[in-house]
Amino acid sequence: MIQRTMNLVLATATLIGLAAWPSANAQTRKPTPPKSLRLYVLDCGRITVANGDSMGFKPGELATSNMVTPCFLIVHPRGSMIWDTGEIPDSAFKSGVTPQTAGAFTVDRPLLPQLAAIGYTPADITYLALSHYHGDHVANANAFAGSTWIVQQGDRDAIFAPRADTKGKLGGVGDPAYFTDLAKSKTMLLKGEDHDVFGDGTVVIKFTPGHTPGHQSLFLKLAKTGPVLLSGDLYHYPEEITYKRIPSFDSDKEQTAKSRAMIEEFVKKNKAQLWIQHDYTAGIKRKIAPEFYE
């Protein structure tokens, strides 16, 4: 009787182990590369802005002064890239409080679980690229320290330069704690140049300095959606195009104007959609992961 009971226990344990094995194996399985380029929009928060004063706007000129803060996962048959990493780090959610707020920033859900929901972990991400070093774009950068960091020298120099604390200040480099692990990352340093990420013209980083010294925008050539230009913070509102307004805290306002003129010509020539990343009105209408654009 004792032997029969032991046999039953062992058999049951074996069945449980076999049932659990596929799940555990799935967690370590690498994502299957898509046949063509995909763009996932991740919800990385929103910014409540009282008015457009800091951007040079007068009352009534903006449809809304509020902003959204997306992050983007770009998945190519040859690899993947995360573009911008949000405004509040995932570590803030350990308190269990949802949503998380920090000044004008509000984030309803952390970044990494959104990636996990579509089958990705930071270890699966080939490249990290930040549009620029401001705090609302870099909060989870350290999570991708194992990826190859593609960065313009102008921004990288500023990130690691000795400096006074600029946390929370307009135009300042984000919290130094957001970049500590990147100092040891494999780094592709760009020196004021564009970069074709996968070598086929479908994912191209465009050098668009002015907002910061090494500001970047991203051009994507999607098979079904068509060409898309992700602005970074070259623009914050569509009204900046209409009124030709440039934020007072840009590192070089004249250079911003030149970068905008170049990008507007590039967008026209390539018949691309200009996605202003912070644009609240357009942003709340975009498909959010796990849906994607292709």
Sheet holding 273-275, edge to edge: 195-196, 203-207, 216-222, 226-230, 273-275
The answer to the question of residue 176 being in a domain is yes
Domain CATH number, residue 265: 3.60.15.10
Note whether residue 132 is domain-resident: yes
The CA-based angle 229-257-216, given to 5 degrees, is 40
Q: Determine the structural domain holding residue 111 and report its residue range.
A: 32-283
pLDDT tens-digit series, residues 130-165: 999 999 999 999 999 999 999 999 999 999 998 655
The DSSP code sequence of 89-100 is -GGGGGG--SSE
Task: Compute the distance between CA of residue 13 and CA of residue 143 in angstroms, rounded to an integer.
Answer: 37
Phi, psi of 165 (to 5 degrees): -65, 120
Element (H, E) at 219: strand 216-222
Which has the closest alpha carbon to 294: 185, 245, 221? Answer: 221
Asked if residue 10 belongs to a domain, the reply is: no
**Does residue 114 lie in a domain region?**
yes
The answer as to whether 293 is a domain residue is no
- Can you tell me the distance from the alpha carbon of 229 to that of 219, in angstroms, rounded to the nearest whole number? 4
- The residue behind tokens 């479908």 is 202
**Of 17 and 204, more confident:** 204
DSSP letter (8 states) at residue 166: -
- CA–CA separation, 141 and 183 (whole Å): 11
pLDDT tens profile 79-131: 999 999 999 999 999 877 789 999 999 999 999 999 999 999 999 999 999 99
- If one counts the domains in the chain, the total is 1
Report how far residue 232's alpha carbon sits from residue 177's, in angstroms, rounded to the nearest whole number. Answer: 22
245-256 residue pLDDT tens: 999 999 999 999
> For residue 149, is it within any domain?
yes
Task: Provide the 3-class DSSP secondary structure of residue 222.
Answer: strand
pLDDT of 7 = 41
pLDDT digits (tens, 9 = 90+) for 267-287: 999 999 999 999 999 999 999
The whole-model pTM stands at 0.87
Q: Is there a domain that residue 25 lies in?
A: no
What's the one-letter identity of residue 33?
A: P
In a domain, 253, yes or no: yes
Residue 165: the pLDDT is 52
